[in-house]
A and B are shown apart, each in its own frame.
Chain A
Amino acid sequence: MLAAEAQLKALMLSALAGDAAAYRALLAALGELLRRYYARRLADAASAEDLVQETLIAVHTRRATYDTSLPFTPWLYAVARYKLLDHLRRGRVRATVALDDAGELFAEDESEAALARRDLDRLLETLPATTREAIRQVKIEGLSTAEAAERSGRSEIAVRVGIHRGLKALSDRLREGRTREDR
């Protein structure tokens, strides 16, 4: 079962204060999270495990850079993404992602994007039609929000807000699904 943001953050705060038991629990949970993260992105299991370790070390040596007023998981995934990109840049291995999808690696919210690809169509069906179209046009076909707004005859703000809400609803739904899977 994947630990939730609130749990991880609480462990991190205790660890930053010097609580070794909390730190051990945190690192174990992060190891699991990171293993999934890299397994989805790298074909080679050995280098995925290397990256898990490298990232755990980075979490350890750079833990002071976590701003305790912010959520913890974005920090963690930013570190993980940095280590992944650094690894790919060094060119030691080839990523499993197709060239067309490579842009996703640089997307802002990567963990969510990778999950969303999985059952994208099924999930999109659960959204209202206008939101679905907006997400399809902007996030999948790559139109600008202005173009999508023009096509649907809605204002740009409405499209933007619709997309934001739609994506949030999707990621909430995914998270529910994921917790069920892990049990």
Chain B
Amino acid sequence: MKTDELIDRLTGQLAPVSRAAVPRTLAFGLGAGALVSFAAMWLWLGIRPDLASAAATSAYWMKFLYTLSLGCFAFWAVERLARPGSGSRVQMTLLAIPLVVLLILAFIQIDGVSRATRMHLMMGASSNVCPWRIALLSLPLFAGAFWSLSKLAPTRPIVAGTMAGLLAGAFGAWIYAFHCDESAAPFVVIWYTLGIAAVGALGGALGRFVLRW
């Protein structure tokens, strides 16, 4: 086909595009994934029965805000990475903030306590299942994030895949927190982060092959 013909054809297909198209596409994929993840959490694990009273504790909000802020910063990074030629370093650096804050909280909690208590703060009662459950609950979100990115234009597939994985992992962990009754910062900073990071690694590995356009 001649290039002039192509230009005619493309001009014929022109439709107005919204300025918010990128965040909207991402929100659509993630929203659909979040619904599935939430339903899976509810049916498979169940919402913790003491949610109402837990919501009055700072430990509950620590988990809630840690995962939510990670998710929002990762969303912002993916939103940039989905656009050719847009810098995303600032957004990716922001991801470190919730992690550092929670690390400080965790060190404060384990500072000066007995060894047994320290172990308990770190291992809780569910450390053997927590990262796996987070990773599994993240999968629908992961599929949604990758679906969205496949409609957009990530020029750095490995970085974009990793960030999309962290995004799915963070919101998966946020949903898991409706079930999980652990309340210690050391536990969350280790096991939640591990689950989220695992999904990020999966995203980087897949991104290389899947995020082609």
CB of A80, distance to nearest CB on chain B (Å): 9
Shortest CB distance A70–B (Å): 7
Cβ-defined contact, B17 with A78, below 8 A: no
B86 at interface, CB cutoff 8 A: yes
Complex alpha-carbon distance, A86 and B155, angstroms: 10
**Contact of B7 with A79 in the complex, beta carbons under 8 Å:** no
Instruction: Give residues of chain A (17-36) contacting chain B, Cβ–Cβ below 8 Å.
Output: 17-18, 20, 23-24, 27-28, 31
CB of B189 to closest CB in A, whole Å: 34
Q: Is the interface of B mostly helix, strand, loop or mixed?
A: loop
User: Which one of A15, A20, A56, A58 lies within 8 Å of B153 (CB-CB)?
Assistant: A58
Q: Are A78 and B84 in contact (CB under 8 A)?
A: yes
State whether B7 touches A81 (Cβ < 8 A). Answer: no
A92 within 8 A of B: no
Q: Are A60 and B13 in contact (CB under 8 A)?
A: yes
Cα A81 to Cα B84 in complex, Å, equals 10
Please judge, given known A-B contacts A16-B17, A58-B213, whether A67 and B3 are in contact too, CB under 8 Å: no
Query: A75 contacts which chain B residues (CB < 8 A)?
Result: 83-86
- Please classify how large the interface on chain B is, using the bins under 10, 10 to 19, 20 to 34, 35 or more: 20 to 34
Main secondary structure of the interface of A (DSSP, over half): helix
A65 touches B83 (CB 8 A): yes
Of the listed residues B19, B25, B85, the one surrounded by the most CB atoms of chain A closer than 10 A to its CB is: B85
Neighbouring A residues of B21 by C-beta, 8 Å: 64-65
| Among candidates A16, A53, A62, A82, residue contacting B152 with C-beta atoms closer than 8 Å | A62
- A57 to B11 Cα, complex, angstroms: 11
Q: Does B56 contact A (CB under 8 A)?
A: no
A-side interface residues, number (CB < 8 Å): 33
In the bound complex, what is the Cα–Cα distance between A10 and B22 (angstroms)? 20
Nearest CB of A to B90, in Å: 14
Does residue A96 face the partner (Cβ distance < 8 Å to B)?
no
* Interface contact B6-A56, CB-CB below 8 Å: yes
* Docked complex Cα distance between A18 and B16 (Å): 4
Using known A-B contacts A75-B84, A75-B85, A86-B212, determine if residue A64 contacts B10 with beta carbons closer than 8 Å.
Answer: no
Q: Does A156 contact B (CB under 8 A)?
A: no
Within 8 Å by CB of A53, from B1, B8, B18, B83, lies B1
Please, which residue of chain B has its CB at the minimum distance from the CB of A61? B213
Q: Are A24 and B7 touching (Cβ within 8 A)?
A: yes
B82 at the interface (CB under 8 A from A): yes
Q: How far is the CA of A68 from the CA of B16 in the complex (A)?
A: 14
Minimal beta-carbon separation of B146 from chain A (angstroms): 16
A62 and B11 in contact, given A74-B85, A78-B84 (Cβ under 8 angstroms):
no
A binding-site residues for B, Cβ under 8 Å: 15-18, 20, 23-24, 27-28, 31, 49, 52-53, 56-58, 60, 62-68, 70, 74-75, 77-79, 81-82, 86
Q: Which 4 A-B pairs have the closest CB atoms?
A: A78-B85, A78-B84, A18-B16, A64-B21
**What are 18 contact pairs spanning A and B, CB under 8 A?**
A15-B14, A16-B16, A18-B16, A20-B12, A23-B10, A24-B7, A31-B7, A53-B1, A56-B7, A57-B10, A60-B13, A64-B22, A65-B153, A67-B22, A67-B86, A75-B86, A78-B85, A82-B153
